[in-house]
């Protein structure tokens, strides 16, 4: 099941609060590790939701001929195109 970015960020905050509010070193280490994992999951959720990572996508083709050129382009010109 994929979590939403809001859920992931809430879990990250919960674990950061837990780490900040404890005197036990092992609890702090585990809570900080869990918070970091939820932060990574939040980034993935944001990308999945389309709220992050759009800036590294290619722009749409300006015309149909440009799409045809892109489809015919091969990075390995000595080999045929994979179909």
Q: Tell me, yes or no, if the pTM score tops 0.75.
A: no
Tell whether the model's pLDDT for residue 19 goes beyond 80: yes
Query: Of 14, 1, 4, 19, nearest to 50 (Cα)?
Result: 4
Tell whether the model's pLDDT for residue 55 goes beyond 60: no
Mean pLDDT of 4-16: 95
Range with top average pLDDT, 3-12, 45-54, 71-80: 3-12
Query: What is the reported pLDDT for 83?
Result: 55
Q: Which residue has the higher pLDDT, 23 or 72?
A: 23
Q: Cα–Cα distance between 24 and 40 in angstroms, integer?
A: 25
Tell whether the model's pLDDT for residue 56 goes beyond 60: no
Q: Cα–Cα distance between 44 and 52 in angstroms, integer?
A: 9
Q: How far is CA 27 from CA 8, 10, 30, 33, 55, in A?
A: 20, 19, 5, 10, 38
Is 5:42 a contact under the CB 8 Å cutoff? yes
């Amino acid at each position: 099941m994929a979590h939403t970015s809001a859920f992931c960020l809430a879990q990250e905050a919960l674990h950061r609060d837990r780490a900040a509010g404890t005197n036990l070193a092992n609890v702090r280490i585990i809570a900080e590790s869990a918070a970091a994992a939820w932060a990574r999951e939040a980034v993935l959720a944001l990308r999945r939701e389309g709220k992050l990572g759009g800036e590294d996508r290619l722009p749409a083709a300006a015309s149909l001929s440009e799409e045809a050129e892109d489809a015919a382009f091969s990075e390995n010109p000595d080999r045929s195109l994979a179909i």
